[in-house]
Structure 1
Amino acid sequence: MPFTLHGLPVSQGIAIGHVHLVSHALLEVNHYHVAPKHLADEIERLDGAIATVQGELVGLKAATTSGQAHSEVGAFVDLQMMMLADPMLTDTARELIKSRGCNAEWALVQQMEHLVDQFRQIEDPYLRERQADVVQVVERLVKVLLGHPGHLPPKRRDGLGTIIVAHDLSPSDTIGFRDHNISGFVTDVGGPTSHTAIVARSLKIPAVVGLHHVRDLVEDDELVIVDGTRGIIIVAPDERIVEEYRLRRSELEIERSKLNRLRDTRATTLDGETINLLCNIETPKDMAAVKTVKADGIGLYRTEFLFMGRDVLPDEEEQYEAYRAVVKAMPDKPVTIRTFDLGADKALDRAHARVEPNPALGLRAVRYSLAEPKMFLTQLRALLRASVHGQMQIMVPMLAHAQEIDQTLRLIDKAKAELRAEKIKFNEAVPVGGMIEIPAAALALGMFIRRLSFLSIGTNDLIQYTLAIDRADEAVVHLYDPLHPAVLKLVAGTISAGARFGMPVSVCGEMAGDPEYTLLLLGMGLRNFSMHPSNILEIKQQVLRADLGELAPKVQRILKMDEQARVREAVQRLAL
Structure 2
Amino acid sequence: MIPVAGTHAKHEIALKGIGVSPGIAVCDAQLLAPHTDRTVQRSISADEIPSEIARFEEALIATHDQIKHIQKQVGEVLGDEHASIFDAHILVVDDRTFIEDVIRSIKNEMVNVEPILRAVSNRYADMLSKVEDSYLSERAADIRDVTKRILANLAGESLDQMKQISKPCIVVAHDLSPSDTASINKAMVKAFITDLGSSTSHTAIMAKALEVPAVVGLHNITAVASSGDAVLIDGAKGLVFINPTEERLRAYEKRAEEQEQILLELDRLRDKPPETKDGYLVPITANIELLEELDAVGARGAKGIGLFRTEFLFLGAGSLPDEDAQAEAYIRAAESQYPSPVVIRTLDLGADKLPAGFEMPDELNPFLGDRAIRLCLSHPDLFKTQLRAILRASVHDNVKMMYPMVSCVQEVMDANTLLRQCMMELSQEGVAFNQDMQIGTMIEVPSAALIADIIAPHVSFFSIGTNDLIQYTMAVDRGNENVAHLYKPTHMAIIRLIDHIVKVSHKHGLWTCVCGQMAANPQLVPLLIGLGVDELSMSPSQAPLIKDVIRKLYYSAAVELAQKALVSSSAERVDQLCHDMIAQIAPEVLELSE
CA distances 1:107-140 after superposition (whole Å, capped 9, x unpaired):
3333322332343366653454233222222222
Matched ranges for 1:69-88 at <5 A: 69-88=78-97
SS in 2 for 1:30: coil
Residue 205 of structure 1 deviates from its aligned partner by 2.2
Q: Which residue of 2 aligns with 1:467?
A: 474
Stretches of structure 1 that go unaligned for 5 or more consecutive residues are none
Q: Which moved more, 1:560-569 or 1:455-464?
A: 560-569
% of aligned pairs identical? 36
Q: Deviations over 1:234-254 (max 9, x none)?
A: 233222222222222222222
Change (3 A) 1:181 1:353: same
> In 2, Cα distance between the equivalents of 1:86 and 1:440?
38
The answer to whether residue 132 in structure 2 is matched with residue 109 in structure 1 is no
Matching residue within 16, 19, 37 for 1:9? 19
TM-score by length of 1: 0.91
Aligned mates of 2:28, 2:21 — CA distance in 1: 19
Equivalence for 2:44: 34
Q: Does the 8 Å CA contact 2:43/2:112 hold for their aligned counterparts?
A: yes
Partner of 1:147: 156
Aligned to 2:170, which of 142, 163, 171?
Answer: 163
Equivalent in the alignment of 1:174: 181
Aligned-residue offset at 1:544: 1.4
Higher mean Cα deviation, 485-494 or 447-456? 485-494
2:64 matched to which residue of 1?
54
1:249 alignment counterpart: 256
2:5 — aligned with what? none
The equivalences for 1:275-286 within 5 A come to 275-286=282-293
Residues 169 and 34 of structure 1, relative CA distance in 2, 3 Å threshold: same
2:344 pairs, out of 314, 337, 348, with: 337
Deviation at 1:311, TM superposition (A): 7.9
Deviation per residue, 1:292-341 (Å, 9 max, x gap):
21421111122222344878444434433433333333222211121222
Amino acid at match of 1:12: P
The match for 1:92 is 101
**Shift of residue 570, structure 1, vs aligned partner:** 1.4
Match of 1:479 among 474, 480, 486: 486
Q: Please tell me whether residue 516 in structure 1 is matched to residue 516 in structure 2.
A: no
3-state SS of 2:231 partner: strand
Cα distance change of structure 1 residues 84 and 478 upon mapping to structure 2, 3 Å threshold: same
1:344 match: secondary structure: coil
The worse-fitting range, judged by mean Cα deviation, of 253-262 and 207-216 is 207-216
Inter-partner Cα distance in structure 1 for 2:471 and 2:211: 28
**What residue is the counterpart of 1:404 in the other structure?**
411
- Structure 1 residue aligned with 2:384: 377
Is 1:562 aligned to 2:562, yes or no?
no
Query: How far apart are the structure 2 equivalents of 1:350 and 1:166?
Result: 38
Match status 1:63 vs 2:63: no
Report the Cα distance in structure 1 between the residues aligned to 2:38 and 2:446, rounded to whole angstroms: 45
On the 8 A contact 1:82/1:310 being kept in 2, the answer is no
Q: Return closer, same or farther for 1:468/1:25 CA change in 2, 3 Å cut-off.
A: same
C-alpha deviation, 1:531, in angstroms: 0.9
Q: CA RMSD in A?
A: 2.6
Distance 1:10 1:260, change over 3 A: same
Which residue among 485, 508, 521 is the counterpart of 1:501? 508
Question: Partners of 2:111 and 2:331 in 1: how far apart?
Answer: 49
In structure 2, the partner of 1:442 is 449
Rounded Cα–Cα distance in structure 2 between residues aligned with 1:133 and 1:390: 42
Q: Which amino acid aligns with 1:135?
A: R
- Number of aligned residue pairs: 571
Superposition deviation, residue 485 in structure 1? 1.7
Contact 1:123 1:360 in 2 (8 A): no
Alpha-carbon shift at residue 449 of structure 1 (Å): 1.3
Tell me: CA distance 1:505–1:127, structure 2 relative to 1, closer, same or farther (3 Å). Answer: farther
Larger deviation: 13-22 or 542-551? Answer: 13-22
Any stretches of 5+ residues in structure 2 without a counterpart? 1-10, 585-594
> Is the alpha carbon distance of 1:78 and 1:291 closer, same or farther for their aligned partners in structure 2, counting shifts above 3 Å?
farther
Shift of 1:12: 2.1
Q: Does 1:416 align with 2:427?
A: no
Q: Offset of 1:472 from its aligned partner?
A: 0.7
